[in-house]
Structure 1
């Protein structure tokens, strides 16, 4: 059986992804911090008849991630797919976020991907095969208020991934490096993120179930693409940012600030997972399932350019045909 590694795979989209690969017959390795969440994911995957290895490690620790990669290869065998997914966030204006908070989000959400990619390449390059998937977000292109650290990290992941991909292409490597940009998901992260706003956090609609993310992530192992945009809202955000960035700035001020907050009070002493994991039962779904979508339009990132090129060619042919008619 093939082996997949998923960082941050003990809850939310990461856990849904582990279950999706288990359903496809992959042996599963999960790297996360919380023992309770790891154990719950192990049990759920083993019920599907596959081998499972769970490792408690902080993805911000490069040595621990590298060690985990070698442990997985020793126990389960050759890693075919590595999914970088672990993240954390702080909901706060930049000016009220501490240096330590901003640094921690960056260490986990950005450097965690760097460390995971380095570990994956260390075991994949000698055999010149494998797939590395970076779980991104529409926020990698279009930032929103109150999420400066998280948006900065996601944008950094995109830049880092583009650079490493071209290096692999230069080497004529057989390793695929893919980024999957997700929309707002109904996951527990909104209950676990550090929140300094006084009101409970929610995903900006439209919201999708985590199985949508899992299906998209799994799909790129079957049909590799450079980058996959999941959901119409992701497509709109990315294309809109290129075409109408100032308009989207104003729209984010109007919609995204209040859109991330509910009317439910949130108190500063409520636990979060920024520096320490929450030792509780980790779920795949969050509290925002009402109206959450189970299907999404998936668009490869090169499709809009191809469509535009085709439209330009068709327009050119039509113009040329009319010009030739007039010449007659």
Structure 2
């Protein structure tokens, strides 16, 4: 039985693998008590062991975030067991790699229920407890795809766009109330996670992240930083995320045509897709002991461990001051000439 703790309490959904797995380790190293929510018991248990090895308290809870009642009950269990929730991180998702016309209505609904409504449910469960205390932070783990849709991921892109709109609406409502509860987003680039070997795919070749690819620890550092500095409305991770969002704002039609030409091949390796690959759309693939997938996918050799752009996003004041100083120096040089 876990006892209540004086440490700040964080809840992370999708905690058994990928970005969520790296994130619970990062919070544990910062001294948080960590509640881990996911469907797969095997992955959850392994993640909880890593949290405890880092010297933190772990509370693994098997939950499908598509079920609001289950999420709300889990939130109650966290507060009863560990104490008031300080931070809630929404990260759980599922997806389908296929052209839109090849994704069934039931599959589309399931992706939406997990990837979009899962965030809505987690946010509601967190706010239900944070709002009356007038404190707490909710971190939405987003993506460059929250702004820019790409081919072969229409269900996922639609869900990420929905999260973006939902979060903006909620943020405005909290500002109207004068609430001290903060909501921020972290927009991620392509990340080397196990999703490419367990997401439902109807592609001819093996799915891959669109390069450049980053390790999940880069994303985890950004999420922890956002949780501890939540007054920024969002953080962008990876230079490619910035380039994509700027290009989409300036010339979306050009980007449509570019992605129409390159978006299919860039999301597939040269290897054929394994038709027997496990699929996590309807049930977890890491439920049984020994089926833990960890945080990393199959692309360690081609993944970046750092993001200079993340530093710039975290220190935008310093960057702006440096840029302003450079501009003034250049102007002074021109005037002297």
**Which residue is 1:120 aligned to?**
126
Partner of 1:222 in structure 2?
A: 228
Is the partner of 1:9 in helix, strand or coil? coil
Aligned to 2:94: 88
Q: Distance in 1 between matches of 2:106 and 2:202?
A: 14
Structure 1 vs Structure 2 CA RMSD:
2.3
What is the SS of the residue equivalent to 2:150? coil
- Residues 66-103 of structure 1 show CA distances to partners (whole Å, capped at 9, x for unaligned) of 11001000001011000000000100000111001111
Q: CA deviation at 1:272?
A: 0.6
Q: Distance in 2 between matches of 1:20 and 1:45?
A: 9
Alpha-carbon displacement from aligned partner over 1:184-229 (angstroms, at most 9, x marks no partner): 0010011111000121110000000000000000111232211000
Q: Secondary structure at the match of 2:301?
A: coil
Q: CA deviation at 1:31?
A: 0.6
Aligned residues: 317
Residue number among 302, 305, 309 corresponding to 1:291 in the alignment:
302
Per the alignment, residue 32 of structure 2 pairs with 26
Q: Which residue does 2:267 correspond to in 1?
A: 260
Residue 275 of structure 1: SS of its match in structure 2?
coil
Query: Which of 142, 162, 165 is matched with 1:136 structurally?
Result: 142
Which residue number corresponds to residue 247 of structure 1? Answer: 254
SS in structure 2 opposite 1:53? Answer: strand
| Secondary structure at 1:127 match in 2 | coil
Q: How far has the Cα of 1:255 moved from its partner?
A: 1.9
Compute the TM-score of the two structures, normalised by the length of structure 2: 0.89
SS of 1:179's equivalent in the other structure is strand
Q: Is the CA contact 2:38–2:62 (under 8 Å) kept in the aligned structure 1?
A: yes
> What is the match of residue 245 of structure 2?
238
Within the candidate set 165, 173, 179, 1:173 is matched to 179
Secondary structure of residue in 1 paired with 2:284: coil
The residue aligned with 1:146 is: 152
Partner Cα separation in structure 2 for residue 13 and residue 184 of structure 1: 11
User: Which position in structure 2 is the counterpart of 1:102?
Assistant: 108
**Partners of 1:227 and 1:301 within 8 A in 2:** no
- Answer yes or no: is the 8 Å Cα contact 2:138–2:227 preserved in 1: no
Contact kept in structure 1, 2:142 and 2:187, CA below 8 Å: yes
Deviation, structure 1 residue 266: 1.5
Residues 7-32 of structure 1, C-alpha deviations (whole Å, 9 max, x = no match): 00110110000000000110000110
Where does structure 1 lack aligned partners over 5 or more consecutive residues? 323-328
Q: Distance in 2 between matches of 1:67 and 1:270?
A: 33
User: How far apart in 1 are the matches of 2:249 and 2:168?
Assistant: 18
Q: Name the SS for the 2:61 alignment partner.
A: strand
Q: Deviations over 1:299-327 (max 9, x none)?
A: 549969x96xx98xx89xx7xx99xxxxx
Distance 1:302 1:155 in 2: 26
Q: Distance in 1 between matches of 2:314 and 2:265?
A: 30
Residue of structure 2 equivalent to 1:325 = none
Residue by residue, what CA displacement relative to the aligned partner does 1:254-312 show, whole Å, maximum 9, x if unpaired?
222111111211143422100000031121100001121111112549969x96xx98x
